[in-house]
Structure formats: C-alpha cells, structure tokens
Amino acid sequence: MLALICGQGALPGLIFRNISHVPVIAALDQFRPEGLAVDLTFRLETLGTFLNELKARGVLRVCFAGEIRRPKVDPAQIDAATKPFVSQIVGALAGGDDAALRVVIDIFEQAGFEVVGFSQLVPELLPPGGVLSKRAPEVQDRRDVARAQTVVEGLSDLDIGQGCIVASGHVLAVESFGGTRWMLSRLPAARPADWPEGGLLYKAPKAGQERRIDLPAIGPKTMAQAAQAGLAGVAILQGGVVALDLPDVIAEADRLGLFLWVCETEP
C-alpha cells in the first residue's frame, strides 16, 4: 500500500491521476492539496500518531509531493507518540530546505517505510532532453546556461535555491526563500534600463540534493512569468526538473516565442 503525502499545488493531483492504484491520500493539515479528497491529515505535533495510523492501514511506501512551507509548531500539542522525534523535528526546522527534507526521510525510514520519489511513480513527469520549443536557444543563450549551471552548482552548499536568471553572462537574480515565482515577478520592476536584454531562467536540483522529495518544477505559468520578465527562454536540467503538463508548457513557450531547452548534461 502506498500513501501519497501531499502539499499544495497541482503536482499531487497529477500523480494521483497517473498511477494505476489508489493510494492513501494524506496531507499536512496546514497545506492541503487542490482537488483531492484527503483520507488523513496530520500536524508535526502529531507526526508519531500519523506514522502509526499509516501502519494500521497497511501502508509500506510513502511518496511526498506538493509545496509546503515550514509550519509553526505548538509544543503544547506534541503528543506522546511524537515526543521521540522532537529533536529531529527541531533540527529539520532549523536547517536549510534540503537538510530538512533529509530529516523527514530519515524519520519515515526509521519508522519502517520505503520513501519513493514521485518520478519513480510517474517517470513521464521528467521531460526528454533537447530543445522542445519551436524557438531554439542562440549562442549567447547557451553560454548563459553554462554560466547558470555554474551558479546553481556554487549555491548548492548554501542550500537556498534551485535556479537563477542570467542574461549576457550577468547573473540578474538567484532563487531563494520566495521561490521561482517570486523571483520572476520581482525582475521587471528591479531590472534597470541599462541591464542586458533577454536572458533565461535556469532550474536544476542542488548538487547532491535528495531527489525523492523536492525536485524543482516548471509549468505553463512559469513560461508566462518568464515572458513577462522579458526573458528569452527557460532551460532545465534533464532528469532533475519536473514539467507539469508538458504539452501545455511547450505550447505556452511557442505561443510566447520562448525557447524551452532540457539540458542533457550538468556542468
């Protein structure tokens, strides 16, 4: 039996619609998925009780999908079954995103569950390599991708983001706490008239990232925001970035005159 542990956004529903068996649908109480009926909810304060409930339902495997933010923890609500995990939970909330996710995986594996990545369940979420749009990246775009790959690689140890914006070799923005949407939405207002035109959004996992939970993702809205930000295209790392509704992503890129390049190698 599989449990799909959901956060917000379209990804949980997409996975649910594309697997052959019906999983237990669970969600962190503060971050429920869109369009899915939830069988179980939990809070970090009751994580131990939630793990026991999964076992009682015969769950052996768990898959995490969707967006969450770090919830506030009320010490007064921590139940007896969760007390053994308190030090790990505190450590997770204090660390960076990838460090926190590794702690989550450790807790579930210690409890006897197999943690599977959503890309194992729905591998078609990872698009094939190559230029998928009508527009192709130009020579400068390819140089900018190489620059962006170096930037994301260099930021990995800081555990702060999974993408950046580069134009004519200049790093215009790096992804941080606000995520890709916030970065793209801020760019038009922050971009002075003398900044280089064009540029691209590049997304990839951090070096050594735990890929079973937190793969970066793009969707049709990403392409629309890239166009609004004045970019020429979007590049992602093959095998490391999820494309939500890939045909729609490609169609939106073509409609907006952007390139979509799935890069086949890391720096």
- pLDDT tens per residue across all 267 residues of the chain: 999 998 888 888 888 888 888 789 999 887 888 788 899 999 888 999 999 999 999 999 999 888 777 777 788 889 999 998 888 877 776 665 556 677 888 889 999 999 998 888 888 889 999 999 999 999 999 999 999 999 988 887 776 778 999 999 999 988 876 788 888 988 877 677 777 788 999 999 877 676 777 788 899 999 999 999 999 999 999 999 999 889 999 999 999 999 999 998 754
In this structure, the strands spanning 200-203 and 233-237 are parallel
- The pLDDT assigned to 19 comes to 86
What global pTM score does this model have?
0.81
pLDDT at site 93: 67
Contact 215, 63 (CB under 8 A): no
Question: Shortest CA distance to 5 belongs to which of 47, 45, 18?
Answer: 47
- pLDDT tens across 25-80, in order? 999 887 888 788 899 999 888 999 999 999 999 999 999 888 777 777 788 889 99
3-state secondary structure 60-105: CEEEEECECCCCCCCHHHCCCCCHHHHHHHHHHHHCCHHHHHHHHH
> Which domains are assigned to the chain?
2-121 (3.40.50.20), 126-263 (3.40.140.80)
- pLDDT value, residue 267: 44
**Average model confidence (pLDDT) for the chain?**
87
